[in-house]
């Protein structure tokens, strides 16, 4: 690929020659201006300084002539180049511009530089405006909530309201105390004729944990089905005539010493409870009244229902 600046035709060569001639004319004009302008006298030269204004005028005049000669040479070079390649014309113009600007910084050059600086400022990307600091009055809730200081304030307030909620809920819950609904201690167990003498009825063992025993003489007693060792529910074994606790093997006698402990870890006999006839003729059991053998309470009339 050929260099676009390198002359490659007769016209280019002519343009180049004209450009060289223009440079030579310009150099010649400079030399003449330098020769015409005497050295600037020192301020202390006294009377010699009086002739300085006239010399300056001549120097400026010579400089103007040199510039005019340079411009004339450039014009001639442009005419000679004619339809020369755009590359050559561009090179010539650049050279001429450089030649004109070379002698001293002119106002045009300063203006061009200022224009270039202005253009650079305009084309440069604008500096982004600084983001305004979030304030408490900011309408963005997220910024307010998750700000550094605001976040700590939010945590504090949430803790306070959480604690307050727990206290209020506790107070409300205390207004409704926990109640355990137990079966009433008194219940009716049917009529005396429903029971066979010398037998143990387990009809109310599961619901009330009570055995109702009709002795051979026709009287009734009620035993609590709670082992006196650790509270398990013993079983009535008809064939062995005893109550046997499945937990640790305690045994309680049957007829005629109902509920007396005789084996195992149970420390005392089973407990008897109050039994009597209700006004309607049914047997009524009251579990709130207990009779303990070790306190000689089994002989209490309330502990036995005569048959
Ligand atoms: S609870 Fe009945 S023997 Fe231990």
264 contacts 232 by C-beta, under 8 angstroms: no
**Cβ–Cβ contacts within 10 Å for residue 172, how many?**
9
Instruction: Starting at the earlier edge strand, list the strands of the sheet with 272-277.
Output: 186-188, 283-291, 272-277, 220-224, 210-214, 199-201
Is 226 a pocket residue for ligand 1 (Cβ < 6 Å)?
A: no
pLDDT confidence of 98, banded at 50, 70, 90? very low
275: Cβ below 6 Å to ligand 1?
no
| pLDDT score for 129 | 58
Lowest mean pLDDT, pick from 124-128, 206-210, 211-215, 268-272:
124-128
The reported pLDDT for the residue numbered 91 is: 44
Total-model pTM: 0.46
CA distances from 77 to 87, 149, 283 (A): 14, 76, 146
CATH of domain 186-303: 2.102.10.10
C-alpha to C-alpha distance for 241 and 255, rounded to whole angstroms:
7
Exposed, middle or buried, 79 (CB in 10 Å: 0-12/13-18/19+)? exposed
Phi first, then psi: what are they for 177, rounded to 5°?
-65, 150
Question: How far out from the chain centre does Cα 75 lie?
Answer: 76
Residue owning the nearest CA to atom 1 of ligand 1: 230
Distance of alpha carbon 25 from alpha carbon 96, whole angstroms: 12
Position 86 confidence tier, pLDDT thresholds 50, 70, 90: very low
Beta strands in the chain (DSSP E): 186-188, 199-201, 210-214, 220-224, 235-237, 242-244, 251-253, 261-263, 272-277, 283-291
For residue 120, is pLDDT > 80?
Answer: no
Query: What is the Å distance from ligand 1's center to 235 Cα?
Result: 11
Instruction: Quote the ligand 1 centre to 68 CA distance (angstroms).
Output: 136
Going by C-beta distance under 8 Å and a sequence separation of 6 or more, which residues neighbour residue 246?
232, 234, 235
Rounded to the nearest angstrom, the distance between the alpha carbon of 229 and the centre of ligand 1 is 5
pLDDT tops 60 at residue 71: yes
Model pLDDT, residue 37: 60
Between 23 and 170, residue with greater pLDDT: 170
Which residues make up the CATH 2.102.10.10 domain(s) of the chain? 186-303
The mean pLDDT value for 145-171 works out to 89
Residue 205 has pLDDT above 80, yes or no: yes
């Amino acid at each position: 690929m050929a260099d676009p600046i390198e002359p490659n035709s007769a016209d280019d060569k002519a343009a180049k020659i004209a450009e060289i001639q223009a440079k030579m004319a310009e150099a010649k004009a400079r030399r003449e201006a330098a020769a015409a302008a005497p050295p600037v006298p020192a301020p202390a030269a006294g009377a010699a300084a009086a002739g300085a204004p006239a010399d300056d005028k001549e120097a400026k005049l010579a400089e103007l002539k040199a510039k005019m000669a340079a411009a004339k040479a450039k014009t001639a070079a442009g005419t000679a180049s004619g339809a020369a390649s755009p590359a050559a014309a561009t090179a010539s113009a650049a050279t001429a511009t450089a030649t004109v600007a070379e002698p001293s910084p002119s106002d045009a050059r300063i203006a061009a530089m200022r224009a270039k600086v202005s253009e650079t400022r305009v084309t440069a990307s604008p500096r982004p405006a600084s983001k305004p600091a979030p304030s408490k009055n900011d309408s963005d809730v997220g910024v307010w909530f998750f700000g550094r200081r605001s976040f700590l304030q939010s945590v504090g307030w949430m803790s306070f309201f959480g604690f307050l909620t727990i206290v209020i809920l506790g107070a409300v819950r205390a207004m409704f105390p926990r109640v355990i609904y137990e079966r009433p201690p008194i219940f009716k167990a049917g009529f005396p004729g429903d029971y066979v003498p010398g037998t143990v009825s387990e009809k109310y063992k599961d619901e009330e944990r009570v055995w109702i025993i009709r002795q051979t003489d026709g009287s009734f007693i009620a035993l609590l089905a709670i082992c006196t060792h650790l509270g398990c529910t013993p079983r009535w074994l008809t064939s062995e005539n005893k109550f046997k606790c499945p937990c640790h093997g305690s045994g309680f006698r049957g007829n005629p010493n109902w509920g007396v402990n005789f084996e195992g870890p149970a420390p005392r006999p089973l407990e008897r409870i109050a039994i009597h006839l209700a006004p309607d003729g049914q047997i009524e059991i009251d579990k709130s009244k207990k009779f303990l053998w070790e306190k000689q309470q089994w002989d209490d009339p309330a502990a036995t229902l005569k048959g």
